[in-house]
Every structure is written in structure tokens, then in C-alpha cells.
Amino acid sequence: MLKGLIGKKIGMTQIFDDAGVAYPVTIIEAGPCYVTQIRRPEKEGYSAVQLGFSEVNPKRLTSGELGHLKANEIPPLRFLREFRTKSPDLNVGDKVTVEVFSLGDRVDVVGTSKGKGFAGVVKRYHFRGGPKTHGASDRTRAPGSSSSTTTPGRVYKGTRRSGHMGQERVTAQNLKVVLVDAERNLIGVHGAVPGPKGGLILIKEARKQ
Amino acid sequence: MSDILKALEAAPNPNIPPLSPGDVVSVHVRIKEGDRERIQEFKGTVIRLRKGGNETSFTVRRIASNGIGVERTFPLRSPRIDKVVVERHSTVRRAQLYFMRGRTGKSARLKQRFN
């Protein structure tokens, strides 16, 4: 059975267990997703399931997108994402809901991190910066030396510098499922999840359990 | 806060009356010792209320032996809180009574409010 869902981040809160311990929890509105296509090794060379999420006004989609969905009487969906799986035992048009996950499951959660713009090395790579005193007040957040002297006589490729930070695909691994609400299509995971509230989130079975 | 998060909030404990800063309260906390459960009382003045759904908390300050102040912050929605008894209200003019931290003895009294 495929363990994967597309969802929308709602926000964080805390919930108590029976012993009174409070856990930080991220609430994700996940599913219902529809199977929109099955990728098979015979045809595409790999096996995966394409899921769709978030019903939308059909005017918002291109005719190509509509045609892709219409053939199997799937409602118009805004987001389509693929989930790799060894044995796709689903059919096109099937509905996938939060019930594929149960309490205590470990999941990987994929999101797009918040954009930080052009960031310096202190923020981007946790460089320590320079001293604030001893006549160095113009170098407090400077990167310092980027390489050695005559040997090697150049700066190595991949040296960490300032640049664009955030707004990239980030996976939070091995989060515990602590809440499943099939009625409201909600799933709660222990801890934080990348991205802003309202951001698109993929939930998968954890790779490293 | 979004409506979805509000819908997930734990139900308020019916044994906790509305609290306000300056109230003298006795908080009954369930404590687990091994497999036995007992109730511990913590009596003092509410010096802070922090609101926010499930994260709502309040801080109680009491003067322990040798005049040492002890503060304890309780999550309001925690199932470990058995009940809260309000013993008296006080007239206070601010929401956070941090000024109480610098006071001991006679100056640490608050004027009682009757209503």
C-alpha cells in the first residue's frame, strides 16, 4: 500500500498526551488525494504513483491538465506529485486519505523552506563572524579568509559564500505521527516542518526508520 | 490562529475558574510517583497569564521558607492539573506583576478586591 500524501501546512500547536507531557505538533491538512496516473517499469522505466491534491475551479487549469484528469473522472486538481513505490497496487481514480497513516508511524515530510533572500555567511552557514571590538567593527559579520596562500593559490570550488538562502526543497526526516483526524483530513507530526503556513507539503513513509 | 487549529484545542478544564493577575490560588497538581498518583498543592499569587489556545499558561509565585520566592508556570490545558481554587482577588493595575519579585514581607502584599 502506498504511504504518501500531499497536503497543506496549517501551523503549529501543542498537544498533551495522557501523562500530561506536551508535544510540539505541526498540523497538516492532507488529502483527500486522487491517483491520477500509475508509472510502470514497462512503460516509463520506473514505478511510481502520481497523486493529485486540492480541488480547483476548472478554469484555472490548462486544457492539457484537464484532459489528463478528465479521462478517469477525477475532479480538477491544482497539484500533481509523484511518489516512488515498488509495487503500485492502486488504480487511477482511487482516493488516498490520511487513513493510510496511523498513530506512531514515522514519516518524512517534504516542503519548500521559507525564502531568506540574499543572506550573508553568518546567517547562511553559521560562520562566527569577526570581533566587534579591537578596531574591527567594520568586519563583524565578514567571512574571514576564504583560502590559503601560494599553495594552492586559488579558492577551492564550493567554498561557502553569501548568496540566496531558503526557498528550496527541504525534507524533515523521521517525524512521528501523533494525530490522525480522518473527519477533517488532518495529520499531526511531532516537531517542525519546512515552509510557511499554507505551503505545499509531501508526506512519505520514513526512509530511515 | 486558523479555525482548524482552534478546533483541535483541548477542552478547558471545568475545575479551573477564570484567573486574573493578583489572584491568590491553590493549584492542585497530579503527581506520579512510581505507579501511585497523588495530588500536590501549590499555593501563591498569579503573576502572569499567557494566552494562546492550547499553549495558555499561568505563573504562580509563592514565598517558600527563608523568604525565598518560588515561581511555577502551569500549562492551563494540561491534564495534570486537577483543579485550581481561587482564594482571593487583588486590586492590581497591570497584567504582569513582575514587580512582586523585588518585594518581600509587608511590601509584597496586594490590596484585596471584593466582588
B77, A16: Cβ pair inside 8 Å? yes
Tell me the nearest-neighbour CA distance from A16 into chain B, angstroms.
7
B79 → closest Cβ in A20, A27, A184 = A20
Measured in degrees and rounded to the nearest 5, phi and psi for residue B60 equal -115, 135
Same domain, A66 and A105: yes
Mean pLDDT of A172-191: 91
Average pLDDT, chain B: 88
Residue B35: predicted pLDDT: 85
User: Does the pLDDT value for residue B15 go beyond 90?
Assistant: no
Q: Which of B33, B37, B51, B54 to mutate to test the interface with A (most CBs of A within 10 A)?
A: B54
Same domain, A188 and A174: yes
Residue A202: predicted pLDDT: 93
Q: Cα dihedral sign for B8, B14, B15, B19? A: positive
A186 → closest Cβ in B4, B53, B80 = B4
Mean pLDDT of A81-96: 84
- Whichever domain contains A18, its CATH number is 2.40.30.10
Q: Provide the number of structural domains found in chain A.
A: 2
Tell me the nearest-neighbour CA distance from B65 into chain A, angstroms.
29
CATH second-level architecture of B2-98? Answer: Roll (2.30)
Summarize pLDDT for A115-157 with one digit per residue, the tens.
999 999 999 999 998 899 998 888 999 998 888 999 899 999 9
Tell me the nearest-neighbour CA distance from A14 into chain B, angstroms.
6
B2 → closest Cβ in A11, A184, A188 = A11
Domain positions in chain B are: 2-98
Domain membership of residue A89 as a residue range: 4-113+168-205
Comparing A91 with B19, the larger pLDDT belongs to: B19
Contacts of B7 in chain A (CB under 8 A): 184
Same domain, A18 and A94: yes
The confidence band for A170, taking pLDDT boundaries of 50, 70 and 90, is very high
A183 touches chain B (CB under 8 A): no
B5, A16: Cβ pair inside 8 Å? no
Mean pLDDT of A85-89: 79
Which secondary structure element, helix H or strand E, spans residue B4, and what is its range?
A: helix B3-7
Same domain, A53 and A132: no
Same domain, A121 and A161: yes
Rg of the Cα trace of chain B?
A: 15
Same domain, A128 and A47: no
For the question of whether the overall pTM of this predicted structure is more than 0.90, the answer is no
Same domain, A88 and A121: no
Mean pLDDT of A13-41: 88
User: Does the pLDDT value for residue A201 go beyond 70?
Assistant: yes
Same domain, A92 and A187: yes
Summarize pLDDT for B70-113 with one digit per residue, the tens.
999 999 988 889 999 999 999 999 999 999 998 888 888 899 98
Mean pLDDT of B19-44: 90
Measure the CA–CA gap between B5 and A103, rounded to whole angstroms. Answer: 19
B78, A22: Cβ pair inside 8 Å? yes
B8, A197: Cβ pair inside 8 Å? no
Residue B1: predicted pLDDT: 62
Mean pLDDT of A200-204: 93
Same domain, A196 and A152: no
Same domain, A161 and A187: no
Tell me the nearest-neighbour CA distance from B2 into chain A, angstroms.
8
The fraction of chain A above a pLDDT of 70, given in percent, is 100
Which secondary structure element, helix H or strand E, spans residue B6, and what is its range?
A: helix B3-7
A16, B4: Cβ pair inside 8 Å? no
Same domain, A121 and A109: no
